[in-house]
Structure formats: C-alpha cells, structure tokens
Structure 1
C-alpha cells in the first residue's frame, strides 16, 4: 500500500511538472547507424584514425574568428583526411554546433527543413546532446520532424570529429533541408542567423560532384569550391554538390555577417582510396570574420599598413636564398607524396638571422613557363622560412585559379620566391598621377573599399602599360576596372627580392 502511495505521488508530481512547463521530453537516443561502415565501431580504432587524420592536416592562420566550415561526409577512408583539414582549424571551445545537410533519404519527403526529436546522438565515443532549440524550431513555419530524414550518415559522420576537437559539453542542432525555393533560402538564413555568435559553429555536411572521371570531377569541383569560397550563389546553384540547399543557406548567413571564405583542401576519392574512373569530390572550406584590428595577412583580405620601416631590409645572401629554395622544394615533395607537413630543423636556420625575421613572402610555381600557382602574404606573421614553407603548399594545392598540382608534375615545376619589404602608401594629388609615379620595379597593392589585390613586380613583364596594369588589378580585386581612378582607392607600393631555382 505504501508503494502504491509513493507511485501516486510521483505521477502527481509529473503531471504538475508537465502543467507548469507545458513540455517534458524524456531521453531519446539516436543510435550510431553507420558505425562499422563509414567509420570504425571500436572506440580505440576510431580515436586512432581521427588522430592520424588531424595530425596530417595543417592549421591555417585566419587572423579572425572562425564561424563555419564545409566538410565532406563519405566514409572516412575516402573523405576523412579532407574533413580533418576543416576540423583542424577549430581552436575555439564552441558550445553549440549547427549542422546543415540536405536530405539523402529516398524515404523522406522533406518540404522545407526537418529537425530531429532526439535528445542525444550516440557514437562509439559517447553521446552528444541535441540542443533544446529544436523545440523552438519545430514551432516555426517550414520546419517539421521527418523521421526518415535523420536515419542516414550525413550528420552522424561529423560527430566523432566534433567529439575529438570540442569540449564534452557542446550540443548540436541538426538541420536537414529538402525542397526549397529562393524565398525559403532567405527565410531559413534569417531564422538561423539569430544563432550566430562566437560560441556557435556552423557546419555544412556535403560532398561535391559524383561519379565522373577523375579529370572531369576536378574541373567541376574547382568551380564549385571557388564558388563556395567567394560566396558565389550562382556558382553553387550551377554545381553538383549534394548539399546545395543547405549550402545556399550558409552562404546567405555568411554574406549577412561579412564572413570570408577560404579553401582548405580539395581531393576526391581517386586521390584517397578509390578508383579514378568514377570519383566523388570532397572539399574543406572555412568561413571566418576578419578582426577589425588585423593587419595584412594575405592579398585577398582587408589590409591596413602602419608604421613601415624607414629603410628596406638588406637583400638575402645567395646561401640564404638557396636554403629557402631547398626548403620549398622539400616541402612540396613531402606534402604531395604523403600529405604531411614538413617540419624543418630550426637549428639549420638559426645561423641566419634574416631568415628568422617576420617578412612578407610569395611562392610562385611555373610549368613550362606558364603560371601554375602563386600565394603568399604581403606582411608575414611568422619567421620567413616558415612562411616560405607554408606558401609553397598553398601555391601548389590551394590557389583557386588552378587545379591542385599533382605529384607527377613536380619534375616540371619551376619554383621561385619573392621576399617583400613593407608596402608604403603612394601619395598623389590626382589618380592620374599614379601613371607617372609607378615604376616597373614596384609591387602594387590596391585597396578599394573591402576589395583588395596585389601584383608582384614581375607582373609588369606581362602588363607594361600602367593603365592596363591598374585596370587588371582592379578586376582581380573584384572591383570595376576603373576603380583606381576613385579618389577613395588607396595604392601602396613595395619592392621584392625574387630568386629562383637554377
């Protein structure tokens, strides 16, 4: 009788609780459906595989707050190394992760978007809490719970990576998109934009083109990754990525907040573990907010120049040039063969103080005399020799104007390095004065509003006419061809010491 009385009290308390809070959700766990298929089911093996991928990936300096990443969602042996490049960039202990993906279930009819009714997702590494915000979202227009949409791999495969790089107490907000028109894209972008803050990470789970030949896939995916990086809505619509609807929402959020995109890695299944006759493309992309106080980091980022030195530094000696060229070549050979970052011995460079200085550098790759890649920083953020190492990799595989350099191409690649002094503002009374003041020894940095670009001094060889030079530079920055005539446009000049392999 006493037991019955206790049970009645418990039931009464639950009823009162429900009445007071109008909602009680008991624990409901989504099991790890694809463990043992897309990734190891054994926790030890899974942890070892994740650590291996993350150790192979490089961390890239954004000079700002990371807010979103694009990651692939195939089996780990195919896309895990590429996904690791995105997850490697996470240094903030995010509390919440909004996961966007597009419906992959043939049994799910998703009109708008679907969020789950689970309280947790399980993986071999433990359980991940689902944000209670799903209850708020279910009350919104165009959002429902479609059970079948949440049975595939597209969200699940991201969770072990997140569990590895984030604190244990983070929560997820999984969102599966379905049929949408452009009004829906804008509606969802506005809806989820309210969750943007420095404790929330947005993750887009998507692969790129599917089942083309290797070369055709690279051609298609190069356009797609460039569109993702530059927030090019039309380019994404014309691409073959499987998460198109979710991608469009993320791009709109990025535009609202002024985020910049950065391609971190691109490969396909033919590069990792598959046949090259029919491949699937994978990309890692980051979106970040440039800090207001950030000084120059890369030619395509907002830049500010303060307190330049009165004199240019001394030119590098022949021995110093040789060391940097050897470092760049060794770095490329190791990276293209093993996808691992070469770690030079600091003792080898310590006798050369000039190589320890923080200076701007560019690495240029040419094949049969034609440009094959060129990336660098106008003002460095690390010792000169480490900047050369990192730019060598970026010029080979992250210059979005070109397909990534293949290992078999290396014997045909000619490598050169440019070491820069600090740019100085070129002061003129009228924009036409630029045509008289610029010389063919000048590297030129153009800043028109937020649009910026630079040409190294050697570009004068191809564009000797200053009007054409400046017009092309405006177009490179994404501005109008005559932007250099705008009195608000700023032009800086710098000199560079260029040297190449013999």
Structure 2
C-alpha cells in the first residue's frame, strides 16, 4: 500500500468538476428521487448504474436515497464496491493500492486493513493501473460523500471472473454486519429506446429471479452482478427493483440508448 490518494479520473466528464456544482447536482437528484418503499429486512446490497450523472443519476439516486434512510439503523462502517473494468483488461478481481480516493467533494479514505484482509483471504491482485482510469466505481463517490460520508471505501474491480468465486467473496462480506455491498452496473447498450426497454425488462426479471447467467450484452457489470445473484440465491435473499430507465428518458436521444436499473438485495 502506498499513502497516495487516487485523483479523480472523470471529473468534468461524468460529473461536474467543481465542488459547488457537484454538490448541487447530487443533492437535486436525491431530492427529486421518490422515497423508496419500506423493506421487511435490512438491505444487504445495492445495485447502482455508473454512467454520467445527468444520464443515470436519477436512477442511482433511488438507491442512495434508500441508503440515506437506512444508514442510521445499521452498523455499516464500510461499503465494498464491485464493478467492471472498461479501460484495461483484467482477469479476476483487483484492489487499488492507494489509501484514499479524491473527487471535487474531497477525499474518501479506503479501509486499508480490511482490504489487506480480503487480499490475503482471496488472493486478490493489487492493480492501481486498472483502477486509475476507471469510472464505474468513481462515479459512486459523489453520492456516497453526500449521504454516507462516514463510511470507508473498499473498491474492487471485477474482470473475467466466475460467478461462484464472486459469490464466495460476497458471502464472506455478508458475514460482517459492518459491511454494505454495492454492485456497479449499467444494463443494455446502444439499442433503440423501445428495444432497450424490452431487453432491460427481461434482464430485470432475471435479476429478481436471482438467475446468475447474465451476459455482458445485458449488463456491463455482469460478472459482479452474477456473483451477487448467486450469493443471494444461496442465502435465500430477495431482490427488488427500485427503478429503471434509459439515457433516452433522461438526457439523451432515443436512437441509441443505455439502460439503467437500481436494485436492492435484502
């Protein structure tokens, strides 16, 4: 581990580069998000999209509104983020080497002792090179910094990895009441608006049925998501859809859209 802070890679692209503008955007998204329905049990994991906030932010805010409401009732001290690599190839799973991550809203500390525990238990790679240019986990930070600033971060990129291996990691995390799991994934990519809605509704059916056979054409974070679904099936947990839309419903045209969904596992 180095004592370095990972700089923001996509500030000014996926979200505003100034702190006031970013705070205003995130707070507005949270305020506009509908209040999630009450759950019969405490959430164990969230699934959240990771596009530019003007596109996927309204759906992501549904999950973070739920986190904001539930946090005072929990023992959570950390959030473990599992998401896909878009920039550099990766087999298996990888932790970063830094001790903190930066956005315009400030620095979020990583839970270094817990990361070392995971690295030793699951033989995870330490790969700052794949983390430094990647947006799938970084775009979660502005929301976390606004609604759960007290939680430390454990970012894990999930490359080509079998679902059962990710499921073992998720089940290990669930043994600790201080840990919340967050999966970062968008849904379908670059279909027409009508086709994306059709495909994404089928994907949501698979997610709610805990069917861990999603492909990358259904969810770019399919490897992490399949591991969550397998773990949820084995632990007899439920999933619920908090909301779903496409980029054509928020800030883009409807000819080639990206699908977004937010889900809670409990």
Q: What TM-score, normalized by structure 2, do the two folds share?
A: 0.91
Instruction: Pick from 111, 115, 120 the counterpart of residue 134 of structure 1.
Output: 115
Deviations 1:208-244 (A, max 9, x none): 000001100000000111211221223x248521001
Partner of 2:33: 57
Partner of 1:154: 136
CA contact (8 A) 2:97 2:127 kept: no
**The residue matched to 1:203 in structure 2 has which SS?**
strand
**The residue matched to 1:27 in structure 2 has which SS?**
coil
**The residue matched to 2:39 in structure 1 has which SS?**
coil
Number of equivalenced pairs:
257
Q: 1:62 to 1:239 in 2, by over 3 A?
A: farther
- Greater length-normalized contact order (CA 8 Å, ≥ 6 residues apart): 2
Instruction: Pick from 173, 179, 184 the counterpart of residue 195 of structure 1.
Output: 173
Partner of 1:125: 105
CA contact (8 A) 1:117 1:134 kept: no
| Correspondences of 1:37-116 after superposition (within 5 Å) | 37-59=13-35, 60-90=37-67, 91-93=70-72, 94-105=76-87, 108-116=88-96
Distance in 2 of aligned mates of 1:36 and 1:281 = 22
Q: What TM-score, normalized by structure 1, do the two folds share?
A: 0.49
**Residue 231 of structure 2 is aligned to residue 249 of structure 1:** no
Partner of 1:177: 158
CA contact (8 A) 1:254 1:260 kept: yes
Distance in 2 of aligned mates of 1:258 and 1:287 = 10
Partner of 2:8: 32
Q: 1:238 to 1:144 in 2, by over 3 A?
A: closer
Gaps of 5+ in 1: 1-24, 289-502
**The residue matched to 1:176 in structure 2 has which SS?**
strand
Partner of 1:229: 208
What RMSD over aligned residues (CA atoms) do the two structures have, in Å?
Answer: 1.7
Distance in 1 of aligned mates of 2:170 and 2:208 = 20
Deviations 1:288-336 (A, max 9, x none): 1xxxxxxxxxxxxxxxxxxxxxxxxxxxxxxxxxxxxxxxxxxxxxxxx
